[in-house]
A and B are shown apart, each in its own frame.
Chain A
Amino acid sequence: MHIPSLTIASVRDGLLARRFSAAELTAEALHFAETENPRTNAYLHFCPERALASAERVDEQIARGETPGPLAGVPIAVKDVIVTRGVRSTCGSRLLANYIPPYDATAVERIEAAGGVILGKTNCDEFAMGSSNENSAFGPVRNPAALDRVPGGSSGGSAAAVAQGTAVVALGSDTGGSIRQPASFCGVTGVTPTYGRVSRYGLTAFASSLDHIGPFGRSVRDAATVLSVIAGRDPRDSTSAAAPVPDYTALLDRNVKGLKLGLPCEYLKQLTSETGDLIARAVETLKSLGCEVSEISLPATDYAIACYYVIATAEASSNLARYDGVRYTSRTRSAGTLSEMYRRTRSEGFGAECKRRIMLGTYVLSAGYYDAYYLKAQKVRALIARDFANAFQQVDAIVAPVSPFPAFKLGEKVDDPMAMYLSDIYTITGDLAGIPCMSVPCGQTREGLPVGMQILTRHFDEITMFRLADAYEHTQSN
């Protein structure tokens, strides 16, 4: 078997035809991943015992003649901000370098209940704060398509692992683009579902009103399969939605004729010419499939970066207050009193970007600034959501770029936080509105750098998004 070209379906076929056992596949996938990982640093650590135990459960099911779950035997990577019981979960932070969670995230439980085999935990920007994966305390990830470039962030490790073939699918998290942007940079599919579609239980909180768990895959079908498994109401997350979860893959009919698509004029202004050309070409392809494309306007877009970085940092400053040296493994060695311990533990533990965001969030929430920044940003957020609601009166889906440019060089933007924030312009709006959105590969630049197209749809209309992405993907493989 050729590990980097496995799909969920090919794994299933192989298992059911008894060409290989899940245990054999897992051993080989682990060996391949451990051998290849030093090239990219996508995984932070592996969990071979847990992976083999999962695989053996699948083999026993098959031996008993039972139908194995939809992810049976599939090698999966999980971003290290998603907790795994008994397996180190560092969040890319020095503070949690030795943290071993006492419970599993709901998404992890569901993956394993469906037969999925978690190989290990993937690298990311510290506490998911970053757009390049350079804010990890454990070294950056390199983009498999160009090793001197970033994989995007914050779920850079998950995107790189899927692109590199060291996992078939992966879980990431998205607060402002952290699934779609690395998917675009690495040339894989990445999905941010509707807010509340997937339980956040066990996702280490960054900005709770914006945080999502979502899948990566090398095909739309594989990503959709994973979402079918992890989506659904979870009593342990009160914001998780009760809406029924369809079998997304059953609805991929490749017939998108007559679908109305909107192209937001505000999203086409700052593109590099190559990215713009690739998006324009993808839109032409969608037209050739029978979609009706019209230009739309999302006028509050210009305020989205400011709105997002107020809300996200405010929530982060509150969520990260818990890392104070009492409960989570790290404590300074030099503290006489409790307040000294809090301050020194945090100052020694957090990296520069986390400190910057905690400071910004604390500032915008502090006395005298709350109305001008935080409350104002929440109102602008309502306007951004309203823009989308208005647009979806006219169109079924919105197509747009994911990032203004393809993967940049390692080190290129680290010294300019504002430039880094501005690169999130096309992805943060979907998170602010809480609508489903995804990145699907739409070609490469002349240098061979992948570019992704973004598709956004109405709340809980992942089906239209997947149908469109799958139909488009099919034109690219032919």
Chain B
Amino acid sequence: MKITEQEVRYVAALANLELSDAEAARLRADLDGILEHMDRLSEIDTTGVEPMAQVLFDADPAATLRDDVPIPPLGNQAALANAPEPGAGYFKVPQVIER
């Protein structure tokens, strides 16, 4: 077994997900099968291979930098248009500090 239900609960907490008992059991079984397949990565020799984080082309390292010229921002009203709870020009959220 690659992963226990306890580990599933731990990972869910890291990912900000709440799982029902049925979901946790199902995910444990699914992840177990998938991780077993992923273990074949350990079979291939990658000695001396640089990790590839991005598809990179031969370009000047500064090619993606732009001049520091201000451009008009989205604007407060547009930025808040999809907020579930806007207020006084901000995103409102429930109580932050728990005790």
Which A residues have a C-beta under 8 Å from some C-beta of B?
A: 99-103, 195-196, 209, 235, 238-239, 241-242, 300, 302-303, 305-307, 309-310, 317, 321, 324-331, 335-344, 346-347, 350, 355-356, 358-360, 362-364, 366, 372-373, 375-383, 385, 417-418, 421, 433-434, 459
Contact = CB atoms under 8 A, between A and B. Distances in A.
Given A337-B94, A356-B30, A373-B38, A209 B53 contact: yes
Contacts of B68: none
A302 B31 CA distance: 20
Interface string B1-38: 00100011001101111110001000100110111011
Contacts of A242: 59, 63
Contact of A358 (B17, B42, B54): B17
A379 B37 contact: no
Nearest to B78: A102
Contacts, number: 161
Interface residues of B, number: 53
B82 A418 contact: no
Interface of B: 3, 7-8, 11-12, 14-19, 23, 27, 30-31, 33-35, 37-44, 46, 49-55, 57, 59, 63-64, 66, 74, 78-79, 81-85, 91, 93-96, 98
Counting from the closest, the 10 A-B pairs by CB-CB distance are A434-B55, A378-B51, A331-B84, A379-B46, A382-B52, A102-B78, A238-B64, A195-B55, A362-B15, A347-B18
A383 B98 contact: no
Nearest to A328: B82
B74 A102 contact: yes
Given A360-B34, A362-B14, 14 more contacts: A99-B82, A102-B81, A196-B55, A196-B57, A303-B40, A307-B41, A331-B85, A337-B95, A343-B18, A344-B18, A366-B11, A372-B41, A380-B44, A380-B46
A341 B93 contact: yes
A366 B44 contact: no
A119 B7 CA distance: 46
Nearest to B50: A382
17 contacts: A101-B82, A241-B57, A303-B43, A329-B82, A329-B84, A331-B85, A335-B94, A337-B98, A339-B98, A343-B17, A356-B30, A366-B11, A381-B52, A382-B46, A417-B34, A421-B34, A459-B57
B41 A373 contact: yes
A328 B81 CA distance: 9
B53 A359 contact: no
A370 B39 CA distance: 13
A102 B79 contact: yes
Given A355-B23, A383-B46, A383-B49, A418 B84 contact: no
A434 B54 CA distance: 9
Contacts of A363: 3, 7, 11, 31, 35
Nearest to B59: A242
B7 to A, nearest CB: 8
A421 B31 CA distance: 13
Given A305-B37, A418-B34, A325 B84 contact: yes
Contacts of B31: 356, 359-360, 363
